[in-house]
Amino acid sequence: MRTFPTTSLGVMPNIFALLAMSLVTVSFCASGGALGEKRLGFTSYGSAHIGMSRAALETAVGSKLRNEYPDSDTEGCEYVVPQKGYKGVSFMLIDQRVARIDISDPKIKTLSGAHIGASEISVKALYRGRIQITPHAYSSPDGSYLTLLSQDGRYGLRFETLEGKIIGFYAGTVEAIQFIEGCL
């Protein structure tokens, strides 16, 4: 008679339960967090992606967009926000295409877990050896930009800091993340 391994409690582990737990773990790791949690990467936030047209963005976020700064006079560049959902997320459109995704909600994280309110030290540790630090245009010496580029150098993630804490961050094309006043 063949015997099967048992746990310390004397019962055989349920193969199906182990398989189910493995799938949950894989799903959690693949999404970068809890199931259904959107996180910001170099080129996307949820189903919104850098390079999408305005119409495709509306479809992706499931909402009409409204201009965040309706009186802006910057030609070819605008900020839009979904009319519903997506609290703390705005999208920079250049020539009607998503060029940058800005985060202002402390609950939203990057794929690696960085968020508003995190310490500058913890963000540097998350991206050890890959962060370029430059003085903030307005709040230096108390503030800085922590910039991380994608491997191909086409996209980036930039954190703004003040007194050692992250106060905002955004991702997009290398050109768009360097604009210091939104579309300027």
pLDDT in tens, 44-77: 999 999 999 999 999 999 999 999 876 666 788 9
Number of domains in the chain: 1
Distance in angstroms (rounded) separating the CA atoms of residues 149 and 46? 20
Decide if 166 is inside a domain.
yes
Decide if 163 is inside a domain.
yes
Decide if 85 is inside a domain.
yes
| Rg, C-alpha atoms of the chain | 21
Distance in angstroms (rounded) separating the CA atoms of residues 82 and 104? 14
Decide if 97 is inside a domain.
yes
For residue 155, what are the domain limits? 39-177
Residue 182: which pLDDT band, with cuts at 50, 70 and 90?
confident
Token output for 58:
């509306």
Decide if 27 is inside a domain.
no
Which CATH number belongs to the domain containing residue 155 in this structure?
Answer: 2.60.460.10
Decide if 77 is inside a domain.
yes
pTM: 0.80
pLDDT in tens, 115-174: 999 999 999 999 999 999 999 999 999 999 999 999 999 999 999 999 999 999 999 999
Decide if 18 is inside a domain.
no
Q: Which residues contact 35 (CB under 8 A, 6 or more apart)?
A: 24, 27, 28
- The answer to whether the beta carbons of residues 50 and 41 sit under 8 Å apart is no
